[in-house]
Amino acid sequence: MPRISYQLYCSRNFPPVEKTLQMLAETGFTEVEGYGGLFGDLDALRAGLDATGLRMTSAHVGLEMVENDAGGTLAIMKALGCEKLFVPHLMPDARPTDAAGWTAFGKRLAAAGKPFQAAGLIFGWHNHDFELVPTDTGALPLDLIAAASDDLMLELDLGWVRRAGHDPVERINKYGGRIAAAHVKDIAPDGQCSDEDGWADVGEGIMQWPAIHAAMQAAGVDHYVIEHDNPSDHARFARRSLAAINNF
């Protein structure tokens, strides 16, 4: 079985994080993935992890923080026990507009990752859907990012891959050993879960998990991070999704 983690961003609307960690531990999780908004009170976060026995094995950290304060960011990762760091997003006004720009961005990202890789962390990019829209040359931004450096890893968000109109299995096969983790995320059937932005609990939507899971296992992906961008009930989402993955 792969390692199964929970992206704490799912629970941002259900504070405090200490109660979320307790809920996740009681549900059966052993790992969580952090994000930048949680790092303002490291002592409380560390205490919550220690109290529940959960491990924060990976985290999302913004590019500005990674580039402008590599030393401070590395200290946070070490304090929390993170093994993997993924830069998760670019605001629309910061996104390159052509293939050359995305190639340059990939090189910039690879350079930003060097201090973290030197310290023994896995470093990479987490996609949304905009990286899967063809550029002026027809190349996909995500392909150009991945091509920038063999050391740059990916956290492949399978839900966003599908929402961008791509087959998750094809993307898994393409990136193979470059996938350091995958966001396991489901999409509701058309017209359903509108109050949850069209996302669904894992196993309750349209994603073809048997084929996706088989492809990930064949590619050696051993770190599954469940995510839902806007659950109306995070405990329900956590419980159902963990059960679904355990039944893959």
Identify the CATH number of the domain in which residue 175 sits. Answer: 3.20.20.150
pLDDT of residue 138: 97
Q: Is 81 contained in some domain?
A: yes
Residue 188 falls inside a structural domain: yes
Number of domains observed in the structure of the chain: 1
The whole-angstrom separation of Cα 242 and Cα 222 is: 15
pTM: predicted TM-score of the whole model, two decimal places: 0.96
CB contact at 8 A, 107 and 83: no
Scan for tokens 């891959």, then name that residue.
161
DSSP class of residue 207 equals -
What backbone torsions phi and psi does residue 142 show, to the nearest 5 degrees? -65, -35
Please indicate, yes or no, if residue 53 is contained in any of the structural domains.
no
48 within a domain of the structure (yes/no): no
Is 138 within a domain?
Answer: yes
Q: What angle do CA 56, 62, 65 make, to 5 degrees?
A: 100
Q: 138: domain range?
A: 60-230
Q: Is residue 240 part of a domain?
A: no
157 neighbors 227 (Cβ within 8 angstroms): yes
What does the pLDDT read at residue 1? 79
User: What is the mean pLDDT, run by run of 10 residues, along the chain of 248 residues?
Assistant: 95 96 98 96 94 98 97 97 97 97 98 98 98 98 96 97 98 96 97 95 97 98 97 98 96
Distance CA(243)–CA(202), nearest Å, equals 9
Residue 98: what pLDDT?
97
Question: Would 235 be classed as within a structural domain?
Answer: no
Residue 93 lies in a domain: yes
